[in-house]
Amino acid sequence: MSSTLNDILRAFQDPATKHAAMVHMPIALAFIAPIFLLVAGLLPGRRRMGAFIAMLAYAALAIITLITIQSGEAAYDSIGDVSSSLGDMAHEHGEMAERIWTWGLIVAVVAGIGLIKKKTLAVTAIWVAIAMGIFTAGWAAVAAHKGGVLVYEYGLGTPNPISGIAGEENTEIDPRMTRFLADVRPVLVDRCIGCHRSGRKEGGLALSSMTEILRGGDRGPVLTPGNSRTSVMLTAIEGIHPELPRMPNSGKPLTQSQIDAIRQWIDDGAVWGE
């Protein structure tokens, strides 16, 4: 028994596993809560009881969804580098999930109106809440499906994720790519891409692909292939940019060998590959 409990506690230390466990709670509530609304709408004698339980259920849905969103953000931050397409899919999944708690709160308020003594208004509110509750359940199902696709088709959050979607371009390997994959990409994944990737572009900048890097951020382009001296990306990690703080802005600065590897990568033409 203690061994099982220890396994569960260890599993919950992994953000992806924790989110996978928590995400089932709001989904279940989104489908159970409308039942109480239907009781209130179809059984006049149970109207107030059904409306009261539904109000509590949807309030719980809002709260649990907010907590689940936090676990989802932690899981998202831990997945490392993924292709732009998968990053966009994960971002869309997160945006859909963020709507659920708002609608849960609104349905809770509308269900609460079903408790008032004025019958016409109360019954109308309950049927409006039923319609909104069914919509919320459908929305939660679609959001859950998108999350399931990310996990079960692409392995996002698992030990062996697929790096991209079939059909995406891959850069032909050359010696510069070998150095990039060995010395540069691990640094970007571990220290940079957590804040700069599709779905979470601090300063408007994503570093998940060369297309996004060349597009730049709020301050414009950050890299000039072949010229590290004019590349904001390098001056920022060196801590010598006149306007930007040293990057990464959390944790220890990059080591000199890591900075030198990024400088050489840029001067060699900034070859990109996965």
Q: Domain residue spans in the chain?
A: 2-153, 175-267
Q: What is the CA radius of gyration of the chain?
A: 24
Mean pLDDT of 16-42: 88
Residue 6 pLDDT: 63
Query: Which one is predicted more confidently, 206 or 140?
Result: 140
Residue 170 pLDDT: 46
Residue 4 pLDDT: 60
Q: Which two tokens stand for residue 21?
A: 């466990």
Mean pLDDT of the chain: 82
Q: Is a pLDDT exceeding 50 seen at residue 171? A: no
Q: Is a pLDDT exceeding 50 seen at residue 166? A: no
Least confident range of 38-47, 79-88, 121-130? 79-88
Least confident range of 72-81, 213-222, 255-264? 72-81
Query: Which one is predicted more confidently, 42 or 10?
Result: 42
Residue that the structure tokens 């409006």 belong to:
128
Residue 20 pLDDT: 75
Taking CA atoms, 229 is separated from 46, 108, 203, 216, 232, in Å, by: 74, 57, 21, 16, 8
The H or E element that residue 100 is part of is helix 84-113
Q: How far apart are CA 244 and CA 49, in angstroms?
A: 58
Cβ–Cβ under 8 Å, residues 94 and 72: yes
Q: How far apart are CA 203 and CA 248, in angstroms?
A: 13
Residue 2 pLDDT: 55
Taking CA atoms, 49 is separated from 37, 40, 91, 114, in Å, by: 10, 7, 39, 10
pLDDT confidence of 239, banded at 50, 70, 90? confident
- For the chain, the first-to-last Cα distance in angstroms comes to 43
Q: How far apart are CA 124 and CA 134, in angstroms?
A: 16
What is 32-68 written as a DSSP string?
Answer: HHHHHHHHHHH-GGGHHHHHHHHHHHHHHHHHHHHHH
Strand partners, 234: none
Q: How far apart are CA 224 and CA 42, in angstroms?
A: 67
Mean pLDDT of 192-217: 78
Residue 244 pLDDT: 81
Residue 8 pLDDT: 57
Mean pLDDT of 36-64: 94
Q: How far apart are CA 222 and CA 201, in angstroms?
A: 13
Residue 75 pLDDT: 72
Among 129-133, 208-212, 216-220, name the most confident range: 129-133
Cβ–Cβ under 8 Å, residues 53 and 116: no
Cβ–Cβ under 8 Å, residues 194 and 206: no
Least confident range of 3-12, 37-46, 165-174? 165-174
Contacts with 169 (C-beta within 8 Å, 6 or more apart), sequence order: none
Residue 167 pLDDT: 44
